């Protein structure tokens, strides 16, 4: 009986060990873990080449491209001027409006170049201290700014105009006429960092009233494609 009891105990122990081993064994072959590609090892997208910056300019001469974001909205400024003009005349004349003034703000929008500035322009001189500064734009309009006080000739070519101007330090300032004997001046100056051209246009009526000032900004470019 003792031997039989020992046999039963041994058999029971074997069964327990076998059951424990079976419980620990996986139900089938282990599946390989899914392959994971580390994001750090993924190839980087190709870098977008940056547009080369133009060299800084020491003065206003060179090729320039219009910067709409940095420029004033001329149409909005002219609209504001008209509304203020009409409001003032209405309040001063019982609401019926006063006499129209020659060259007033209603005529400003006839100046196409003011509300539609060129996309690209070039300022140049034939030689250092040349009294003539030429400006040509991508619309093939040419302006000759003369700084020596010479008598200007009236051009028969609508694409060419001679304009009186003078230097104020490094700034080129013009003296022009607007419609109905109004007055207009432009001031060209280079930004302190030499990367932008600032054109400030100032217009008044014939009496110097109702001023409108618009600033256009142009970025320096090393080569203007549209201007030949």
Q: Which tens digit of pLDDT belongs to each residue from 87-138?
A: 666 655 544 333 333 344 444 444 566 788 999 999 999 999 999 999 999 9
pLDDT in the model for residue 15? 46
Out of 21-30, 69-78, 106-115, which region has the weakest mean confidence (pLDDT)? 21-30
pLDDT-above-70 percentage for the chain: 64
Phi-psi region of 208 (alpha: psi -120 to 50; beta: other; left: phi over 0): left
| pLDDT confidence of residue 98 | 33
Q: What is the pLDDT of residue 101?
A: 35
Mean pLDDT of 27-35: 54
Separation of first and last alpha carbons in the chain: 120
> Does residue 75 carry a pLDDT above 90?
no
Sign of CA dihedral 66, 156, 201, 129: positive
Q: Which two tokens stand for residue 19?
A: 């059951």
Q: Check: pTM over 0.75? Answer yes or no.
A: no
pLDDT for 218 equals 98
- Short-list 143, 135, 120, 113, CA closest to 227: 120
221 closest CA partner among 92, 94, 115, 62:
62
Give the pLDDT confidence score for residue 72 in this predicted structure.
94
For residue 12, give Cα distances in angstroms to 2, 5, 9.
15, 11, 5
Is the distance from CB of 117 to CB of 66 less than 8 angstroms?
yes
- pLDDT attached to residue 205: 79
């Amino acid at each position: 009986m003792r031997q039989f009891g020992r046999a039963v105990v041994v058999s029971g122990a074997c069964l327990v060990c076998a059951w424990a081993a079976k419980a620990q064994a996986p139900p089938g072959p282990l599946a390989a873990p899914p392959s994971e590609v580390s994001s750090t090892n993924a190839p980087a997208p190709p870098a977008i080449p940056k547009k080369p910056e133009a060299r800084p300019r020491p003065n206003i001469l060179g090729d320039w491209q219009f910067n709409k974001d940095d420029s004033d909205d001329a149409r909005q400024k002219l609209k504001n001027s008209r509304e203020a003009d009409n409001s003032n005349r209405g309040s001063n004349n019982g609401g019926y409006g006063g006499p129209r003034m020659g060259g007033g703000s209603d005529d400003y929008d006839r100046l196409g170049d003011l509300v539609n500035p060129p996309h690209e322009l070039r300022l140049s001189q034939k030689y250092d201290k040349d009294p003539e500064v030429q400006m040509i734009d991508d619309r093939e309009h040419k302006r000759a700014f003369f700084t020596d006080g010479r008598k200007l000739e009236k051009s028969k070519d609508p694409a060419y105009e001679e304009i009186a101007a003078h230097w104020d330090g490094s700034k080129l300032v013009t003296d022009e006429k607007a419609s109905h004997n109004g007055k207009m001046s432009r001031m060209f100056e280079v930004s302190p960092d030499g990367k932008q051209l600032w054109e400030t246009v100032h217009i008044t009526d014939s009496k110097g009233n109702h001023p409108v000032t618009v600033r256009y900004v142009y970025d320096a470019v090393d080569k203007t494609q549209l201007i030949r």
